[in-house]
Chains A and B, each alone.
Chain A
């Protein structure tokens, strides 16, 4: 059976995938993970999980092109340039603008 191993390098950090071990049961998986990923003090903690228990999702639908909740949905450069030009013309320029 294949077990996936995740390691935390320092306290407070996120766990990251380290690799996998093949083991007949959990007890062996833990022993192998310890040997492969924890023996030199390179990890503060490990997570060991059967590969089947990890569900990968890699299809993220964006049919509506929902860019309003992303940084790239707000290209302000052009608008800002125009706004500055307008402001430079003084108060009359501003009042002439449309709401």
Chain B
């Protein structure tokens, strides 16, 4: 690392923020693109598990809420891809790399949504886990990303309420409905515990070193457990981990998450990866004529 790069590193580590037109080391730019692109991909792919339930939502109100949430998440991906574009990678290339499997998206969006219980658990707990990561990005050293995160966090906060409302309604329903929530929680707990990544120390995490992230993986997971396990328990639900408990030192202990599964899933081998990427590919192909017509008209 030369002196100029070192100066930049000291600057961001001291809480300094960077704008699009500022000079930045190539490595910082590459890391930013990789991180922010994966976030954009995740927003875009994240709507697919929920989209599957729009037609099957139990009431009109739920159908509208779910549709609005899907619209929000696609909107987030547009905002985030805009940030990536300004860093030098066009959106079309992001979509190419997503569909070809070259770039990644979050582990939780590679799994099936079996029942309406899954929709509630995703909207409540997956969004809760995500908002913990996203709130930590409000302090990102790259200012345009930090700024756009403010709007995203604001919208995510009512997605969590929507999810909690779905779960509470089911918990107040029949035994069968409560069973659906418990089964969904059992299915999602593993991926949720993997969500924030392996517990490498933040000093070894390049995303923290460059202050793209402002917290380490394990800090985020502890924050999730602290915030949400009590809320899960108070509803009479069981977390499927017999080792889960909070120690006297206020640190949550839990069974080691399956890091091999996480690796397999995010490298494109999740149960729904191929199907969902295929849907992305075909819908992009099928709507290509619209873009062509509109762009020709607008030109």
Mark A residues whose CB is within 8 Å of B. 17-25, 27-28, 32, 35-37, 40, 42, 56
Contact = CB atoms under 8 A, between A and B. Distances in A.
Contacts of A27: 298
Contact of B75 (A22, A24, A28, A35): A35
Given A19-B147, A19-B148, A19-B151, A36 B294 contact: no
B85 interface: yes
B177 interface: no
A22 B82 contact: yes
B18 interface: no
Given A18-B151, A19-B151, A22-B82, 6 more contacts: A19-B147, A20-B86, A21-B78, A25-B298, A37-B151, A56-B21
B79 A24 contact: no
Nearest to B295: A24
Contacts of A35: 75
B79 A19 contact: yes
Interface of B: 21, 75, 78-79, 82, 85-86, 91, 147-148, 151, 154-155, 294-295, 298-299
Given A19-B82, A36-B75, A24 B299 contact: yes
A24 B151 contact: no
Contacts, number: 32
Contacts of B79: 19, 36
Nearest to A35: B75
A71 to B, nearest CB: 24
Nearest to A22: B82
A22 B151 contact: no
A9 B226 CA distance: 34
A24 B294 contact: yes
A72 B299 CA distance: 53
A25 B295 CA distance: 9
Given A35-B75, A36-B75, A36-B79, A22 B298 contact: no
Contacts of B295: 24
Contacts of A18: 151
A22 B91 contact: yes
B298 A20 contact: no
A24 B295 CA distance: 6
Nearest to A17: B147
A24 B148 contact: no
A52 B30 CA distance: 26
A32 B78 CA distance: 10
Contacts of B154: 42
25 contacts: A17-B147, A19-B79, A19-B147, A19-B148, A19-B151, A20-B82, A20-B86, A21-B78, A21-B82, A22-B82, A23-B298, A24-B294, A24-B295, A24-B298, A25-B298, A27-B298, A28-B294, A32-B78, A35-B75, A36-B75, A36-B79, A37-B151, A40-B155, A42-B154, A56-B21
